[in-house]
Amino acid sequence: MGRFVQYGCGLTAPTNWENYDVSPTLRVQKVPLLGALVGGPKFPKNIRLGDICKGLSLPDSCADAMYCSHTLEHLALEDLRIALRHTFRILKPGGVFRFVLPDLRRLAREYVESKDPNASLVFMEASVLGKNKRPRGLIGVLRTLIGNSSHLWMWDFESLSVELAKAGFVDIRRAEIGDSKLPEFKDVEALDRWKGELGMECRKPG
């Protein structure tokens, strides 16, 4: 039986995967008594607190496969590179890394080709690069500081392939939902998260 690790899992936490998230809501829900009073979505109890940029509390070369969905675009460029290095470290030789995120090239193409006078607004909203309103008040500022809902860096296949190769990954390819040779990925992949987005797969040499 293999070891499968998912980070940035949100509410998707199959029991045959080790699931990590760094959501502020999850942090509060993990606090005894206080967590029961917090509103919002309830995270499954098998989700662990863990930040891939800090490495996760996992030993080197322990995971057969790793996955994240709509997570990497929430990282600044430097943090993305750190996250890829940690992912590479945690994977066993030959281990597979799959992920899905917004496709910058598709969004840019749709913007350039659009005849809609509001095309720039559509692009900024679809890419989550724009802000409808500036955060105000203490709660708004805190939410901006500790939250992670904004997109900090967008990617296309070519540019992210370069970063993956720099981190040491090989056999980098585009991926479609359900096309992995490992059946366990079907437990974490959701069609609504993949449709029209950029899926990729690579592996650690070995």
Domain residue limits, the chain: 4-102+151-203
141 confidence band (pLDDT: 50, 70, 90):
very low
d(CA 24, CA 35): 11
The radius of gyration of the chain's CA atoms, rounded to the nearest angstrom, is: 18
Q: What is the dihedral of CA 97, 100, 101, 105, to 10 degrees?
A: 100
- Report pTM: 0.90
What architecture is domain 4-102+151-203? 3-Layer(aba) Sandwich (3.40)
d(CA 164, CA 33): 42
pLDDT of residue 34: 61
Determine phi and psi for 160, rounding to 5 degrees.
-75, -30
pLDDT of residue 30: 80
Q: How far is CA 174 from the centre of its chain?
A: 16
Determine phi and psi for 76, rounding to 5 degrees.
-65, 160
Q: What is the pLDDT of residues 3-27, one digit of tens each?
A: 999 999 999 999 999 999 998 888 8
